[in-house]
Amino acid sequence: MPPKITAKSVREDIARTRSYAKKNDYLRTLECLSGAIRGLASGQIFGPDKSEIHAHLVEALRELNKMPMIQRLFPAGLKYVKGKEKSFYITLMRLHKKLGEAMEKARVTKQRKRLAVLDDNMIKAAALVKVDNQLEARKLFRKISEHFQDIEGIDSDIGNRLTQFGMFPEAVEYLKKVLGKAPSDVRAHSAIITCYEGMNENDLALEAIKETMRRVGSSENLFVRMARIYLEKREWSEVYNNAKAAFDKNPLNNEAKKMMKRAEPKIFSGTKAGAAKGKGAAKGKAKAKGKAAPSDSKKDMDLNF
């Protein structure tokens, strides 16, 4: 249900019109002014209120006509005539629509040009890496990050590119920044694990994997990556447990299967050796007992004689 039109609501629309005009907000200025004109056209404003509103409207139109784009479109200014509210309202709404379409088109064009500049700079930075000029590449990536901060995912993109180039310490800086703002960014999590693996920072890699599992959930790939790291650390129980977790998710994962088989003898050999030792001791006791029995029997036989 539309709000009730009152002298107060119309005055408020006019006040907002003047405020938005001073901020050069064209669409909101026209929207609020249209609302005020519609209120006047409703026939619900009478007497002194109407006269006061007309006076405020003249001031609002003066603010509107000072706006640069309105001056270009209407050099003589937009004019309001008493009694022609409906006609003026239609004019304002058409202007609002056309101006909105033109501004959106200009925004899209500007954004496309800006993204083209971004792409060019990304290509330049990649070219610098290829010719082994990592110092200048780092500088350019930093400038890109600072200049295009308003573009969503820019630091994640830079971090992933640096990871692909093998510039792991540099990539970590951007990826940490990303995860500080977006803890569930899957690409950033995967890339930072790759960086720590590439830097042979096994403990940091394990921490990163565990953090990823907490934030986005476990996966076959994450379990395999943990198993690989524990394999390097020769922590066989962890190798087996993580490889098995991956294998349980995908029984066709041959790498997980191989790691399980490699870990099994390391884990269970100690148990089997202990069991064998216990069994040998038991046999020795039985044998000793068996040898003692005939001696006692012979003694008994001598006594009987």
- List the CATH code of the domain at 133-271: 1.25.40.10
Using DSSP's 3-state secondary structure scheme, residue 41 falls into helix
Per-residue model confidence (pLDDT) at position 300: 40
Token digits of residue 260:
């399980």
Percent of the chain with pLDDT over 70: 87
Per-residue model confidence (pLDDT) at position 276: 46
Per-residue model confidence (pLDDT) at position 304: 33
Query: Of 252, 179, 251, 256, whose CA–CA distance to 225 is shortest?
Result: 256
Give Cα separations from 213 to 45, 174, 222, 254 (angstroms). 64, 20, 8, 22
Per-residue model confidence (pLDDT) at position 44: 80
Per-residue pLDDT tens over the stretch 39-84: 888 878 788 888 888 888 889 999 999 999 999 989 988 988 888 8
Other C-beta atoms closer than 10 Å to the C-beta of 152 total 9
Domain ranges of the chain: 7-111, 133-271
Q: Is there a contact between 31 and 73 (Cβ–Cβ < 8 Å)?
A: no
Per-residue pLDDT tens over the stretch 101-155: 999 999 999 999 999 999 999 999 999 999 999 999 999 999 999 999 999 999 9
- For residues 220 and 247, give the distance between their C-alpha atoms in angstroms, rounded to a whole number: 8
Give the orientation angle of helix 202-216 with respect to helix 186-198, to 10 degrees.
170
Per-residue model confidence (pLDDT) at position 277: 52
Per-residue pLDDT tens over the stretch 275-291: 445 555 545 554 545 54
Per-residue model confidence (pLDDT) at position 16: 94
Per-residue model confidence (pLDDT) at position 132: 93
* Residue 272 clears pLDDT 70, i.e. is over it: no
Per-residue model confidence (pLDDT) at position 13: 92
